Amino acid sequence: MGDSVSASIDPNRIPRHVGIIMDGNGRWATRRNLPRRRGHQEGLTAAKRTVRAAREIGIEYLSLYTFSTENWRRAEDEVSFLMGLITTHLRKEYDFYRDNCVRVLHSGDLNRLPESLQDEIQLVTHDTAHYDGIKVNLAINYGGRDEIVRSVNRWLRNGRSGGDLNADALSAYLDLPELPEPDLLVRTGGEHRLSNFLLWECAYSELLFTDVLWPDYDERHLQDAVLEFQRRERRYGATECAT
């Protein structure tokens, strides 16, 4: 990174897990009189740029809200384009995963996705499982409420042992129980809501909202987000100790 912003980051207080709601692709394209699909294509470029920046900063886990359970409500041609774009992108980026030691993970319900995309997700998560660099969780056909419901159903089918369901038991049946809870959740595009992303996991995450549209998001914006995180005091419901 090598500039004054990156030099200001405390290497001992890096957020371990950062989640990003990548919002604003369509508006970015509309403002430039371009088709919405161009915005989604530029959004993929921003995602790769952000993965590199996160790795350089020292972030261990990066969760990207790629396609939500609500996104099926969009126009059929846009949904079809997105499914094809994600499928092709996963297949084309193996050199990127290797060069940056990226382990790809997935959260969300595979069942509703096209079979070709299901296959690509299963292949890329398997083929990158040995990489020991940054772990990138792609939330595809993901919804926070949906994950909680599916987790309860998994517990009922496989884990119930006569006791009541508690928070620790439910957490063990989330899509990716090995992921630490996000320290920081960033949303681009100017909206101030979670939009059903990581609802269970973000109970104590620091939230940061920016007006920057996702295709314009770059390493400087991520550095600024980490600096803002480091300025905050996390109490997890406790009060400040008296001195």
Catalytic residues: 23, 71
Strands (E), the chain: 17-21, 61-68, 103-107, 135-142, 184-187, 206-209
* Calpha distance 93→90 (Å, rounded): 6
**By the 8 A CB rule, do 188 and 212 touch?**
yes
DSSP 163: S
Classified as helix, coil or strand, 187 is strand
Helix (H) or strand (E) holding 165: none
**DSSP 8-state assignment for residue 72:** G
- Whole-angstrom CA distances from 128 to 2, 18, 89, 99, 114 are 29, 20, 15, 11, 21
Distance CA 240, CA 22 (A): 34
- Cα gap 200→71, rounded to integer Å: 20
Contact 122, 48 (CB under 8 A): no
